[in-house]
Amino acid sequence: MRIPVVIVHDIILASATESTGYIAGRIASTAALDALEGDPGFMAHNCSCRSRTQMGKKDYKNKLEKMLADLEEGQNVTTEEDPNDNMEVV
């Protein structure tokens, strides 16, 4: 079973499990929007697109696959976070 996950800059904002993938996707999307609405500075704190070097596609794909595998196993998924950011990942 695939778990819909909303990831922004390597941070899992939301995920959901429901009876259908469509419903779970809608719930995860709504939860991610709520998280962003609750922290208007999220993108300013976490977006470093202009300053960081680009990770290779293969490395990025491997990193995402590991994050998703950890999520499916119910483990605590670690991501790169700004130590000054107090936002709780949903």
Residue 44 forms part of a structural domain: yes
pLDDT of residue 34: 94
Residue 66 forms part of a structural domain: yes
Residue 85 forms part of a structural domain: no
pTM (2 decimals)? 0.55
Residue 82 forms part of a structural domain: no
The parent domain of residue 60 ranges over 5-72
Residue 17 forms part of a structural domain: yes
Cβ atoms of residues 46 and 9 within 8 Å: yes
Q: Considering only CA atoms, which of 72, 76, 62 is closest in space to residue 2?
A: 72
Residue 54 forms part of a structural domain: yes
Instruction: Give Cα 49 distance to the centre of its chain.
Output: 16
CB contact set of 29 (below 8 Å; sequence gap of 6+): 4, 6, 14
One digit per residue, the tens of pLDDT, for the chain of length 90 reads 678 889 888 888 999 999 888 999 999 999 999 999 999 888 888 886 755 556 677 777 888 788 888 877 775 444 444 444 444 444
pLDDT of residue 67: 81
Cβ atoms of residues 72 and 5 within 8 Å: no
Give the number of domains in the chain.
Answer: 1
